[in-house]
């Protein structure tokens, strides 16, 4: 287990080690003789320094997931994660939705150019902050407006929506906007999704346009849940109005699919 608070450690191996009945040998990734230098460098490039995954997979530590989920992420364009301009041409588009009624509703439009995914536009409606709750038809109108790049209407290859929202997915498939008809279940695997986002950002394959404030806020402010850590569980903090997890979830849905596309193209 990777979490230092896992019951296996707390209840079994740690007491045995302290009693001198079990020997703990700490190895790091570089100690693995089966890995070539090229393989080691490739693995290191996937896990940025400071992330819990670098501590675990590279340094071989039983590291707790605490603080920011993406501690390396910096909205300063000099860091490379946020860009001030977008490419002129995209070969594929993905749209993601984190559906909410009382919780915020978040949508993002991403485009693929030169082997890199760019967050082109985003939309967030926080009904508690705005003091107005929107209907599904109103959200569909918002999504239709999202599907424009400049003055050109585009059709995302997939519109990813949480699988627990089949009703809204049906409404998208049946709505008056053909560009929204490719609604699909998002891959909602939480920890693999966080790992994918970490890898994509670290490899320079995931970049956010500086006007996508909701997306930047989600990646900058998502925190690990300290209470869950004490139980040996990796999980980020979930919240309601104003919380960063809604935008981060939307990015996570996109990341799962985006990484699959890049892998299929041999670009990752």
pLDDT at 5: 82
> What 8-state DSSP symbol labels residue 236?
B
Q: Are 70 and 251 in contact (CB under 8 A)?
A: no
Q: Are strands 148-149 and 152-153 parallel, antiparallel or unpaired?
A: antiparallel
Decide: 53 and 198 in contact? Cβ < 8 Å: yes
User: For position 21, what pLDDT does the model report?
Assistant: 86
What are the phi and psi torsion angles at 158 (to 5°)? Answer: -145, 145
Q: What are phi and psi of 259, to 5 degrees?
A: -65, -40
* Dihedral angle of Cα 7, 9, 11, 15, to the nearest 10 degrees: -170
Supply the pLDDT for residue 152: 94
> Which pLDDT belongs to residue 6?
83
Question: Under a CB-based contact definition with an 8 Å cutoff, are residues 245 and 219 in contact?
Answer: no
The CATH architecture of the domain made up of 77-222+238-264 is 2-Layer Sandwich (3.30)
Structure-block tokens of residue 112 = 């693929």
User: Would you say how long the chain is, in residues?
Assistant: 268
DSSP 133: P
pLDDT of residue 52: 92
Supply angle C-alpha 153, 156, 160, rounded to 5: 135
Cα separation, 242 vs 130, in Å, equals 11
Cα dihedral 49→255→99→118 (10° resolution):
90
- Averages of pLDDT over runs of 10 residues in the chain (268 residues) are 81 88 90 94 92 92 92 96 97 98 96 98 96 96 96 96 96 97 97 97 98 98 94 93 96 98 96
Residue partners of 126: CB distance under 8 A and separation at least 6: 104, 241, 242
Rounded to 10 degrees, the C-alpha dihedral 178/159/105/260 comes to -170
**DSSP collapsed to 3 states, 89-119:** CCCEEEEEEECCCCCCEEEEEEEEECCEEEE
Query: Among residues 91, 122, 240, 105, which one has the least CA distance to residue 165?
Result: 105
Q: Model pTM?
A: 0.89
In the chain, domain spans: 7-58, 77-222+238-264
């Amino acid at each position: 287990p990777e979490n230092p608070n896992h019951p296996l450690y707390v209840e079994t191996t740690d007491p045995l080690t302290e009693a001198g009945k079990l020997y703990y040998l700490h190895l790091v990734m570089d100690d693995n003789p089966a890995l070539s230098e090229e393989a080691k460098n490739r693995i290191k490039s996937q896990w940025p320094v400071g992330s819990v995954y670098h501590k675990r997979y590279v340094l071989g530590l039983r590291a707790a997931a605490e603080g920011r989920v993406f501690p390396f992420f910096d909205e300063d364009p000099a860091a490379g994660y946020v860009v001030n301009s977008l490419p002129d041409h995209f070969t594929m588009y993905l749209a993601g939705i984190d559906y909410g009624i009382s919780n915020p509703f978040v949508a993002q439009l991403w485009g693929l150019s030169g082997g890199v995914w760019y967050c082109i536009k985003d939309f967030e409606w926080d009904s508690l902050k705005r003091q107005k709750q929107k209907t599904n038809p109103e959200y569909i109108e918002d999504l239709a407006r999202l599907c424009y790049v400049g003055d050109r209407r585009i059709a995302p290859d997939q519109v990813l929506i949480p699988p627990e929202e089949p009703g809204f997915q049906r409404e998208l498939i049946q709505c008056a906007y053909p560009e929204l008809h490719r609604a699909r279940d998002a891959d909602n695997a939480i920890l693999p999704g966080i790992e994918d986002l970490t890898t994509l950002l670290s490899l320079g394959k995931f970049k956010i346009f500086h006007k996508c404030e909701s997306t930047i806020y989600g990646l900058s402010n998502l925190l690990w849940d300290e209470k869950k850590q004490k139980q040996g569980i990796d999980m980020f903090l979930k919240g309601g109005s104003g919380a960063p997890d809604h935008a981060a979830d939307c990015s996570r849905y996109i990341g799962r699919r985006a990484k699959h596309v890049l892998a299929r193209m041999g670009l990752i």
